[in-house]
Amino acid sequence: MSIADPAPFTDEPHAPQSPETTDDRFVPKPVTPQEQADFNYWTKSFKYLLNIGLTEAEKQEYQEFADRKFYFAKKERCEKWRNQALKTCAETSLLIY
């Protein structure tokens, strides 16, 4: 083992031996706008849940956004269940008509 070799049994990353060899594990990948938006939504959600780091205006804005988002999700799920019940259950169709 020469002096230039890294010490055995260490988990520290070492520099590439030549310019031709690169280690992709340590190169940060560019962040897409969608990934940034997802991260911002995630952090704002946890800030809201933990009640830290948001002003009253930001809390109100997040609450309005969440209400709109979950209203449409619940509406779609309800319509899906209604349509499925109408297709598969004769009693339900008799009650409706």
Cα distances (angstroms) measured from residue 91 to each of 78, 80, 82, 86: 18, 17, 13, 9
Digit-coded pLDDT (tens) for 34-91: 999 999 888 988 998 898 888 899 899 989 988 888 898 899 999 999 889 888 888 8
Counted domains in the chain: 1
Q: Distance (Å, rounded) from C-alpha 76 to C-alpha 79?
A: 5
Say if 53 falls within a structural domain: yes
Q: Is residue 72 part of a domain?
A: yes
Range of the domain at 41: 24-96
**Residue 37 forms part of a structural domain:** yes
pLDDT at position 7 over 60: no
Mean per-residue pLDDT, 24-39: 84
